[in-house]
Structure 1
Amino acid sequence: MEDGTLDTNGTDTGLRPQSLVLTFFGNHVLEQGDVGVYSGSIIDVLGRVGTGEQAVRSTLTRMVNRGLLRRQREGRRMFFGLTPTAQDVLRDGGRRIWDEGAVNEDWDGTWTLLGFSLPESWQRQRHDLRSRLTWSGFGALYSGLWIAPGHADVRGIVSELGLDAHVKVFHARADDFTDVGMMIRESWDLETLAARYVAFDERWNAVEVASGDPLATRLRLVAEWLRVIRDDPRLPVQHLPPEWPARPAQETFRRIAEQTAGPARLAARAVLETTPLRM
């Protein structure tokens, strides 16, 4: 089991080293192109959020084995860079965080319906499909019928998993007699999602940003926010309960993200040692 990270009070935040490594690369490495980061730099950065050296090293090795990172030796030093797969993951996460946001006010009334039927023995494929659908904003209307607001393009997901022959996708509107609010409550766990937004907002409103390490603060902030929104399907706000807590939580996130952007960038430049990656 991977070690978690600790906040400034010594409390386990539940963030795992892989999530933090990806967040770190997404914030400070992705836009530099094909570069590798010295392992010592990564150990330094994650050490600021309470992750031990051994946990970082074992996480880097696992991420190489999973096809998320590639490594390159320069003398006695090891450098790690993003694979194309990891770059796609980070750009998708960046769109979710910075472009789309957590509040859907521009829903056009359409839904994407995805039906699938897999052999009983395909447990791994079923798990992978459900995980990817959840990340893409789908909820289970029925066991083999999933639904997402808007026009969700899942062709890439289905093809990547090799399930083209087992999946059917439709785009439609709900009939007038369908209670959309009830359908949403039945297909998504709104109570749990709302509680995550409330907890995030309360936690980060209590953080003294000015007195902390900006690099560590921003790393925790973005990783925690991504953990909250990754299971949020961005449901149409007009069909959600009044005073939906995503909006104030998002305002808190963006305020602290803006406060830490410049200082964290300067701190990263001071600690990062990089090298171009060979093809």
Structure 2
Amino acid sequence: MDDDILDTSDGPQPRPQSLMLAFFGNHVLEEGDRDLCVYSGSIIDVLGRVGVGEQAVRSTLTRMVNRGLLQRQREGRRMYFGLTPQATRILDDGRTRIWQQGAVNDDWDGSWTLLGFSFPDSWKRQRHDLRSRLTWTGFGALYSGLWIAPGNVDVVGVVEELGLTDHVRIFHARADRATDIELMIRDAWDLESVAARYVTFDKRWTSHRGAGSGDDPIGTRLRLVSEWLWTIRTDPRLPARHLPPDWPARPAQETFRCVAEQTAAPALRMARELLETTPSR
């Protein structure tokens, strides 16, 4: 997956595609009707609330249709957009990361998943695509062609989707007692960068705790979810017992869930008032 957030001096600024996916995740997937299509004018209205202009929304919709992430459906003179199976899989994965797994791994069983690959030098795109997907799935580079992730990770689907099954080897193992796990973690993952994302998120959102949903709960929740996905996307959920005692994921997650809870119902009510939808054909 691409990193759909721009870092600026004002903090992380979500790109339109990241916001678009969060929009459909919040108001289509979470509504339980995956076959719902949303009128383009409604999408323009909501993304406009978080600073995305109409032209940027329209070009993002077109790109996402071309990439197989959204489907178009015309109703008279109006155009509606809905999720494709590919986008649904991406959003389901994000929902699992956010609500089921969480950001803190307190129950690691000591196992590791190892993935090895060797590609021809000309396979730059395949190498980039695999590394991007492995990073999102929680892997870090132990060596250039050997990646590792905590726990028993089912990565077969990722490899198959990329068409790389014949070029990848996957193992599940435990570290020998001679291995310094904490040193290995520091070598394979940029802990300072991961921690900095949590600190940035917590600083930006902690003032919203207990402040209610505000005047624009749908926009607030859209920014919240987009920024949280950016925050966790490179966090492999490393075992908590091998991380520094002041690891910032826990307080950041508490802030996220508090603000998410206080905006959920108001954002849903506003969405039902604002969004024009139609069943997918």
- 1:196 maps to 197
- 1:55 maps to 56
- 1:166 maps to 167
Map 1:63-78 to 2 at 5 A: 63-78=64-79
**Partners of 2:34 and 2:83 within 8 A in 1:** no
Call closer, same or farther: CA 1:28–1:148 in 2, change over 3 Å: same
- 2:119 maps to 118
Call closer, same or farther: CA 1:4–1:162 in 2, change over 3 Å: closer
Call closer, same or farther: CA 1:50–1:13 in 2, change over 3 Å: farther
- 2:27 maps to 28
For residue 22 of structure 1, what is the amino acid of its counterpart? L
- 1:8 maps to none
**Partners of 1:209 and 1:217 within 8 A in 2:** no
CA deviation after TM superposition for structure 1 residue 206, in Å: 2.5
**Partners of 1:4 and 1:12 within 8 A in 2:** no
CA deviation after TM superposition for structure 1 residue 12, in Å: 6.8
Map 1:85-124 to 2 at 5 A: 85-124=86-125
State how far apart, in whole Å, the 2-side matches of 1:272 and 1:70 are. Answer: 17
CA deviation after TM superposition for structure 1 residue 182, in Å: 0.5
- 1:39 maps to 40
- 2:216 maps to 213
Q: Aligned residue pairs: how many?
A: 272
Call closer, same or farther: CA 1:181–1:4 in 2, change over 3 Å: closer
Per-residue CA deviation, residues 138-160 of structure 1 (Å, 9 max, x unaligned), is 00000000000000111111111
Runs of 4+ in structure 1 off by over 6 angstroms are: none
- 1:148 maps to 149
Per-residue CA deviation, residues 134-188 of structure 1 (Å, 9 max, x unaligned), is 0100000000000000001111111111111111111111111111000000100
State how far apart, in whole Å, the 2-side matches of 1:12 and 1:146 are. Answer: 30
Once the two structures are aligned, what percentage of the paired residues are identical? Answer: 71
Taking structure 2 as the reference length, what is the TM-score of the superposition? Answer: 0.94
**Partners of 2:5 and 2:18 within 8 A in 1:** no
Unaligned runs of 5+ in 2: none
Taking structure 1 as the reference length, what is the TM-score of the superposition? Answer: 0.94
In angstroms, what is the RMSD of aligned CA positions?
A: 1.6
Q: SS of the residue aligned with 1:80?
A: strand
Q: SS of the residue aligned with 1:72?
A: strand
Unaligned runs of 5+ in 1: 6-10
CA deviation after TM superposition for structure 1 residue 209, in Å: 4.5
For residue 193 of structure 1, what is the amino acid of its counterpart? V
**Partners of 2:5 and 2:230 within 8 A in 1:** no
- 1:16 maps to 15
CA deviation after TM superposition for structure 1 residue 211, in Å: 3.1
